[in-house]
């Protein structure tokens, strides 16, 4: 009759082990669930911050784009290049037209990718406005550098 008592002890030990395993896994699942809840709360905070900083389609301000700026440059650069050639040749040019072009260039909105080029164009116009006092070497080098670094400008002014 020892076998039934041995079997009963083994059965009780197995019940105890399974109960401990079940409770341990239950506790571990609760801990992981809390960690997951913390991660999801952090993710919601990050998402809400990102959502606030995103640009909504309706809130985009309608401003000049690259195409508008290219149109401004095309018309302005044609006049500047024509006046620069005339200054280099010692001929007269339309001063009022260059002043108007210069003011137009100063007032236009410049896309970030064209800012360096825009500064070169404005400095070229400034030099032309000096008329007889214009530095011809600066005018020639600035003009050639402008077209060297931006070869597409030659196509624009044609």
> How far is CA 93 from each of CA 77, 83, 100, 103, 129, rounded to the nearest angstrom?
14, 6, 13, 17, 10
**pLDDT tens sequence across 71-125:** 888 888 888 888 888 888 888 888 888 889 888 888 888 888 888 888 888 888 8
For residues 94 and 121, the answer to whether their CB atoms sit within 8 Å is no
- Digit-coded pLDDT (tens) for 39-66: 778 878 777 776 665 555 444 444 556 7
This model's pTM is above 0.85: no
């Amino acid at each position: 009759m020892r076998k039934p008592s041995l079997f009963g002890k083994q059965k009780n030990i197995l019940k105890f082990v399974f109960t401990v395993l079940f409770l341990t896994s239950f506790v571990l699942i609760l801990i992981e669930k809390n960690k997951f809840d913390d991660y999801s709360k952090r993710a919601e905070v990050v998402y809400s911050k990102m959502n606030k900083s995103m640009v909504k389609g309706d809130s985009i301000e309608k401003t000049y784009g690259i195409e508008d700026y290219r149109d401004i440059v095309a018309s302005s650069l044609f006049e500047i290049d024509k006046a620069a050639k005339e200054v280099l040749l010692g001929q007269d040019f339309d001063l009022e037209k260059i002043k108007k072009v210069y003011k137009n260039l100063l007032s236009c909105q410049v896309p970030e990718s064209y800012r360096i080029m825009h500064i070169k164009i404005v400095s070229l116009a400034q030099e032309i406005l000096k008329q007889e006092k214009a530095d011809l070497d600066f005018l020639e080098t600035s003009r050639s550098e402008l077209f060297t670094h931006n070869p597409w400008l030659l196509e624009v002014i044609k």
